[in-house]
Structures are given as structure tokens and as C-alpha cells.
Chain A
Amino acid sequence: MMENSKTIAGFSSPRTDIFPAGLRVLVVDDDPTWLKILEKMLKKCSYEVTTCGLAREALYLLRERKDGFDIVISDVNMPDMDGFKLLEHVGLEMDLPVIMMSVDGETSRVMKGVQHGACDYLLKPIRMKELRNIWQHVLRKKMQEARDVGNHELDQYDEMWMLNGVERLSGKKRKDFENKHDEKEMSDSRCVDSSSMKKARVVWTVDLHQKFVKAVNQIGFDKVGPKKILDLMGIPWLTRENVASHLQKYRLYLTRLQKEDEVKASFCGMKHPDVSCKETSSSLSLQNPVDVCTDVTKDKYSGDSGDKAIVQNGKSNIYESKVKGVVLMPVTEPRSVVGDNFDSQVAGSKIGLTESFGLVNTDVESANLPIPYCSTGEAPQPQYKQDFKPHFQSANGSSHQPLPVVSHQIPVDRTQATCFLNHIPSREERNRHPDAENKPSFFKSKCGVVGNFSPIESTVNLFQPVSQQQRNVHILEQMPSTTWSARSCNVVNGPQSSPGNLSLRSGSMVASVGEDVCGASIQGECFLANNGLRNIEQFDYNDPQPISGVPTCLYDTLRFDYEYPIDSLEGIVMDQGLFIV
């Protein structure tokens, strides 16, 4: 890669042959024309370019090739995922500098980009001279990190410290320092194997982040401090500064969530499933029709916890399968748990139950149940093929996790899952049903993989939140087996078609409940009381997090099966993440 730089006329200083050249840039834009132009421009800058037309694909790439990129350039408007959301993911997970670009220079948009952590905001048409300079963001970030590492390795970075001081003083001197610094950096991070520079940089993996969130929740959001978190996390190489900076980000993130929540409150506060889809979609600024499936049992729970809304694409089917018999944990009173847990942790910390999806359920039973797959946040697909049992067990083993955590992780895994699954958004619902029996169900992914869920004795419940036109819910209870067909987003699958998608084998009961989910009571009061409609949670929501004192672990997996008319593809937003639009 270094060789190319010679061909480029633009670089005047010989030094540039080394550092900025070969900078690994990931460009994300749904517009192929811009992708082609940007690729060419960046190549001319002798950067190493990877292009990507979908935000999801980009996230997948970024996760797959950790440390494979130095900087990300992303468009703001993309059909499959909002650029801001991608930005948020990248910021939290990879901590890479992200440059946003758009043809729209409206201050509010630029502001939003900066607030979400963009290091720069470029207006289209983007000029090559702007791209030539993007390396400065990479350098700045590295310097920042070096600063964070602070005193530990001060000797190594004293040049940088000086540089920081000089930065404010004069531009001229600064250049010299930068030159020196670059040389040093080159020898540090490129020639020498893993340099101290690298060590300084903490990549907040899903795992690490989970530990972090767990610690935060354990301490209590109000009392939380970097030192305490660090102690709780028990990771030797992590420094207080690493944690502090991550905590800061996390706080910002939660604040944003809360803000959004406030905005959406009126919509998300719905206690009933028969939420008007249109309202939701508009409040969430989803470009697609959205379906909201909310908990049925509002009365059972305290007000806040009642706000469980699941938003899915307009046309979606939710399948809930219950697995029984995997009871590993002692049962607790759901109610009490919810109240305490929820109020203190969630409400107290001002974490809004914002994301319509994430916080779907506050009630303990469901909220706390871990989801079978995606627990590691990695390659969900294979997991589908596995039977539920292993997952459940691991899930059961987990301890209680306060809601905020849950909500937070959802987006992450979810996205991943979708990547693997050909962008099939899906969710899971967990349910606890002592009597339920788990029968085998089949899952078909677009790629033609048919997974057989091992028959753990369980009953499969299917909830079908209906889209706008038909807002009725079909509840299929006690089904021996179910066939799921998961399709990619491009497939058009109306709710109406759901019966077709589900092939109910013997003994299934389908109740069409019309607009009121409460109709679920058809299945018997006890069911409702115990299980309620339960929470519908995102299925990728992986948390190995334990649910507080859940007696029996029954998991319901919810799948949304949705399709978009092809033409409306642009409008597809998989907004279910907690990340703010």
C-alpha cells in the first residue's frame, strides 16, 4: 500500500509516504455512484479503501475485522439503518473515528451528527482535498487515547503531551511536532508489533461492554464511578481512564435515549397491543410502517413497567415459542422483582424505557429471561440451528440484569443477528410457562438453512401482532410444532400472509383477538396472569444476563417475519435498536 503513494501527486512531504498512506478507510453509502467516486478519491490519497453499500454490512465488517479499519466514512441517510445509528454502534463498540456525510448541511443535522460522536461532517459533493486530510482524525483519536492512558506510560508519550500543549499555541510549531509524532507513531504501531499505542486503545467488545453495564447496574447508576466499575469488572489490563471515558460515553448515550423516550413517551406508553401503528412509526421516525405490540398485562405491573412496546416493521409476525422444563432457577415473585428492580434501576437512573423495542417488557418474568441466541453477540445464525436447550441453560445460569442493560445490548446483537440472517429482523419473546411443552419447530432462513429446534418439551405460542390494517392478534397456543419462515427484508410478507407462513401442525389453536390483545385471556386467565402477553423483546437481545430470580425459564422466541414491498425498500429502517435515530 505504501507504494501507491508515490503515484500520487498530492503529497508534497515525503513523510506522508508513511503515515497517512495506507490508512484503512471504510466507506458506507447506499449510493453506488458516490461509493465509486469516494473509492477513487481515497485511493488517490493512497488510502486503503473498503466500500460498503449497506450499514448492516458495514457493521458486520467492522465486527468481523476488529482492528481492520482506522476510520469510517458514512452517509447519513441509508435505507437499512440510519447513519446516526451506525455511528453510535461504531462509537460504542469499536471506538473508531467516524465521518458523516450528507448533501444536507442543515445545522440541526450536523449537530445531531456531532452529538452522536461524529468527528467530522462533510457535505456532498465531497472534494478530494477534504478526504486527503481525514488522517488527522485518526491521529487525534490516538493522541486522545494516549492521553487517557495518562501517567502510566508518560515517558513514551511525552512528545504527545507536548504536542497537546502546543496545539493550542501555534499552528506552525504544531506541524513539526506532528511530524515527529508521526514518525514515532509509525515506528510504534506499525513496525513494532503491538505497540504501547495499541495497548492504550481499548476495544469495547460486546463482552467487555456487557461486563461494564453489569457493573454499572450492580452499583446503581447514581452512585456509579469509574473506580468502582473497574473493581467490579475485574479486568486487570483495563485502566480507570478507560472506564471513565467509556462511562462518559455511556452516560451520553443514556441521556439521548431518555430524550428520545420523552419524545416518544406518548406513543410508547401504550399499555395495550392495539397500538396504532402509524403513531408509533411517526414517533420513532421510522420510515416504515411500524407495528407495536405491547404487553397485555398492564394492570399487573406498575405503571412504568407497563410501557412495553415492541415495534416492528409494519408487517410482522411474532412467533413465540415457549420452552418448558428448563427451569433452573428458583422462582421469585415477579411482581416484587419488577417493582424494585425496575424502579430503582431504571427509573432512578433516568433511563427511559425508551426504545420501544428494547424495553419491551419490564416485568420480571419476561424482561429477565435471557434470550436463547445471540448471547455472545456473535454469529447468531448457527445458533438457530441448535436446539434451544443449551441456550436456555446458559441463560438460566445468568443472574439478574437490570433493564437498562438489556435494552442497551439489544441493538448490538440484533444487528449482528440480522447481518447473518440476511437482514431478517426478528425478536424473541420469552415466556414462562410451566406447563408448556416444547415441540420441535423449524426455522427456515432465506439461505435455505433449515434448522431444527430440538424438541424440548414445550409449547409454542405464536403471537402475531398485526399491522395497521388488521390489528388483531392471533394467538396460537399449544402448538406442537411450528414452521417459521424467515425472510429477508426484501421479501414481501403481509401480516395477512402469516397464516401461510405458519404452518400449524396438529392441535393448534388460533385465536384472532381483534384489536385487543387482552383477548389473550382466551387462553385462560391463569395464562395471562402468569405470563401475560409478556414481553416481546428483541430477539437478538442477547443477554446472557440473568434475570432476576426467575423460577422457571421458559423462553419464547418471537420472530417477526416481515417484508417490504420492494419499492419501499429505501424506507426500511430497522430501528429496533436502542440507538437513537
Chain B
Amino acid sequence: MSMVYSYIFRKENFYLYRNMQRQAASMKRNLFNQEYLDEQFNELEELQDDDNPNFVEEVVNLFFTDSVRLIRNIDLALANGPYDFGRLDDMMHQFKGSSSSIGAKRVKRECSQFQEYCNERNIEGCKRAFQGVKQEYATLKTKLDTYFQITREAS
């Protein structure tokens, strides 16, 4: 009797597990299709191995932790004049470099937009673009959080 239960249980588990895997895969596909992520994310997944089974998640978390500081700095620099466009550009360059590490495609795009405004010395444009950066950043964070949660459950 117990064997039957455990069989059923395993069977259910199996479906659940496979379901989760499918969900994770489809979510990742969407993240790529909607251009939240680019190839770099795949590159990270390839780096994950037995030595670092959670490598991707660790890297992504590191990015989101570290970038808080960068964002705050840019926020401060945008808060009041006089505006040092060179410095703004440098800071954004750094943030963009960081975003490239996890393949945050949309975020990077907004960063480039910001830098263009910087070159034009258009502070209003910069501020607007920075809102865009933060928005993409927050969206990506939410999506990746969910994604990792699903992947964890699926494994």
C-alpha cells in the first residue's frame, strides 16, 4: 500500500517538477524575446557547474546589490546642479558596464540613451532617461527574482 502511495507521490512530484521546468524555460524564453536579457545571460548559465551550482543567481544578486550604490550616486548627481556631464557619463558608463555583466539588455539600452543625452548636455533628457533606466532595472529585478524562484523549485 505504501508503495503505491509513494509511487503516486513520486509520479506527482515528477509532473510538478517537469511543469516547473517548463515554466522556467518559458519564462526565460520570454525574457529573451522581450529583450530583457541577451546572450550574456546564457553565457553565465554555461559557467554554472558543480563547483558553483548557483552561480547565475549569485552573479545576478551581486549585480543588484552593487548597483544600488551606482544608482544612488547618479541620483545624487542629478539632484541639483551644476551638472558635471563628464562625471554623469562616467557613472553611467560604469553602471552600463555592470549591466552588461548579466546581459541586462533593456537596461543597457536605457543607459546608452542617457549617455547620448549627456553628450548633448541635455539634463532634462538625462533625467528622463534615468527614470527609464530605473524602471527597466526594477522590472528586470522582479522578473529575475521570479525566474530564480521557479528554477529553484524545479530543481
Contact = CB atoms under 8 A, between A and B. Distances in A.
Interface stretch (A30-38, A145-153, A250-258, A441-449): A30-38
A124 B97 contact: yes
Interface in B97-116: 97-98, 100-103
Closest 3 CB pairs of A and B: A103-B97, A125-B40, A33-B101
A34 B98 contact: yes
19 contacts: A32-B62, A32-B66, A33-B59, A33-B102, A34-B97, A36-B58, A41-B47, A44-B47, A44-B49, A75-B97, A124-B97, A125-B100, A125-B101, A127-B43, A128-B46, A567-B72, A567-B73, A570-B73, A571-B87
A568 B90 CA distance: 12
A28 to B, nearest CB: 13
Interface string A36-60: 1100110010000000000000000
Contacts, number: 69
Contact of A103 (B47, B66, B100, B102): B100
A285 B84 CA distance: 12
A571 B52 CA distance: 34
B97 A77 contact: yes
Contacts of B47: 37, 40-41, 44, 128
B55 interface: yes
B87 A36 contact: no
A31 B59 contact: no
A40 B52 CA distance: 9
Interface string A545-570: 00000000000000000000001101
Contacts of A32: 62, 66
Contacts of B59: 33, 36-37
Contacts of B101: 31, 33-34, 37, 124-125
A568 B102 CA distance: 25
Interface residues of A, number: 25
A44 B46 CA distance: 11
Interface in B24-57: 39-40, 43-44, 46-47, 49, 52, 55
Given A125-B100, A128-B43, A287-B87, A103 B93 contact: yes
A542 interface: no
Contacts of A40: 47, 52, 55
A102 interface: yes
Chain B, interface size category, equals 20 to 34
B91 A570 contact: yes
A29 to B, nearest CB: 9
A36 B47 CA distance: 11
Contacts of B66: 31-33
Contacts of A571: 87, 90
Contacts of B91: 570
Interface string B112-148: 0000000000000000000000000000000000000
A67 interface: no
Given A103-B96, A128-B47, A77 B90 contact: yes
Contacts of B94: 30-31, 77, 570
A287 B88 CA distance: 10
A570 B62 contact: no
A31 B98 contact: yes
A41 B44 CA distance: 9
Interface string A263-289: 000000000000000000000010100
Contacts of A34: 97-98, 101
Contact of A33 (B43, B52, B62, B73): B62
Interface in A403-457: none
Contacts of B46: 128
A40 B102 CA distance: 14
B17 interface: no
A32 B58 CA distance: 11
A451 B142 CA distance: 53
Interface string B54-77: 010011001100100000110010
A285 B89 CA distance: 13
A104 B86 CA distance: 15
A110 to B, nearest CB: 15
A172 to B, nearest CB: 30
Nearest to B66: A32
A128 B47 CA distance: 9
A49 to B, nearest CB: 13
Nearest to B67: A33
B72 A125 contact: no
A124 B55 contact: no
B70 to A, nearest CB: 8
Given A33-B102, A37-B47, A570 B90 contact: yes
B97 A31 contact: yes
B105 to A, nearest CB: 11
Interface string A7-34: 0000000000000000000000011111
B43 A125 contact: yes
Contacts of B86: 285, 287
A32 B44 CA distance: 15
Given A34-B97, A37-B44, A103-B96, A287 B90 contact: yes
A568 B49 CA distance: 38
B90 A33 contact: no
A331 B126 CA distance: 60
Contacts of B100: 103, 124-125
